[in-house]
Amino acid sequence: MPTGQAKGPRDEEARGGLEPGAGARLGELVGVVDALLADEGGCDWNRTQTHRSLVTYLVEETYELVEAIEDGTSDDLREELGDVLYQVVLHSALAARASSGAFDLADVVHDVTEKTVRRHPHVFGAEHADGLDDIVRLWSAAKADEKSRRTSVYDGVPVGQPALARAQKLDSRRTTAGASRPHLHAPTAVSAGQGGTGASPEASELAWGRDLLARVDEATDRGIDAERALRAAVREREMLLRREETGASTSARSPNGPVGQVPPQPE
């Protein structure tokens, strides 16, 4: 989506020569990754990695960044952004070392810079935008032009995306296309918790999933981010569980202990 960029004191210092700018710092990180991947004196573990083997770490780092954004401090956010950046640099270095030499970090930076400029014609081109609606319209038009080779409006929605978020992304694409929601089968006895012992586990699971998808559609209509809402509810439950755990530990250590508990006997 459209983004803006603000310059702060650190940018002024970098331009004034008081400290290295982001480009120089990024160069240092590139040098570190190159050293890790070096055939002589490098890290055996890093050299054996592939784009596929690193997927787990990329996903973990991304979720840690989300956690820092939603529930962390400024220091947490800074650290997790660095971890995600490290993944980008490492993947780019692995691609550069491949026999095909497919691309390197400079290509990645070049491509995303060009794409960002393309998608903001009201900033870098001759277009004019009156308000956020116009900005989104221009951004969407530029993106649609880039993806003109796609055969479906639903292409490009990652299969590996969390199910709640993916459901809402697909529904957003549906809205853009002007299509209606597919009719889901009515809730079955199994999904409604009314027995249904004769149903297969697969049918039971699908029925339950349809009910959940209906709730996700309800969240979408109310402007609720279902994935974020569930994360918040899970965090709340974890807090309560930890609070209960701490309380139980405190009671267990109490000389009197809870009612009915036998005090520890001296050895």
Is pLDDT larger for residue 113 or for residue 265? 113
What CATH code is assigned to 18-105?
1.10.287.1080
Lowest mean pLDDT among 2-6, 33-37, 231-235: 2-6
3-state SS, the chain, equals CCCCCCCCHHHHHHHCCCCCCHHHHHHHHHHHHHHHHCCCCCCHHHHCCCCCCCHHHHHHHHHHHHHHHHHCCHHHHHHHHHHHHHHHHHHHHHHHHCCCCCCCHHHHHHHHHHHHHHCCHHHHCCCCCCCHHHHHHHHHHHHHHHCCCCCCCCCCCCCCCCHHHHHHHHHHHHHHHCCCCCCCCCCCCCCCCCCCCCCCHHHHHHHHHHHHHHHHHHHHHCCCCHHHHHHHHHHHHHHHHHHHHHHHHHHHHCCCCCCCCCCCCCC
Lowest mean pLDDT among 4-8, 24-28, 219-223, 228-232: 4-8
Lowest mean pLDDT among 12-16, 31-35, 65-69, 179-183: 12-16
Residues 33 and 26 sit within 8 Å (Cβ to Cβ)? no
pLDDT at residue 128 in the model = 81
pLDDT confidence band for 144 (50 / 70 / 90): confident
Domain locations in the chain as residue ranges: 18-105, 163-228
**CA dihedral sign, ordered 17, 23, 25, 27:** negative
pLDDT confidence band for 263 (50 / 70 / 90): very low
pLDDT at residue 173 in the model = 87
pLDDT at residue 262 in the model = 43
CA dihedral 97, 100, 105, 110 (to 10 degrees): 170
pLDDT at residue 121 in the model = 85
Is pLDDT larger for residue 198 or for residue 63? 63
Lowest mean pLDDT among 17-21, 77-81, 206-210, 226-230: 17-21
- Tokens 């009197």 locate to 256
Can you give the pTM of this predicted structure?
A: 0.67
Q: Is the pLDDT of residue 186 over 70?
A: no
Average pLDDT over residues 128-149: 78
Radius of gyration of the chain (CA): 26
pLDDT confidence band for 240 (50 / 70 / 90): very high
Q: Which residues contact 191 (CB under 8 A, 6 or more apart)?
A: 204, 207, 208, 210, 211
Average pLDDT over residues 154-169: 90
Average pLDDT over residues 84-98: 96
Average pLDDT over residues 130-154: 79
Q: Is the pLDDT of residue 238 over 60?
A: yes
Q: Is the pLDDT of residue 167 over 80?
A: yes
Distance CA 191, CA 193 (A): 5
Residues 65 and 80 sit within 8 Å (Cβ to Cβ)? yes
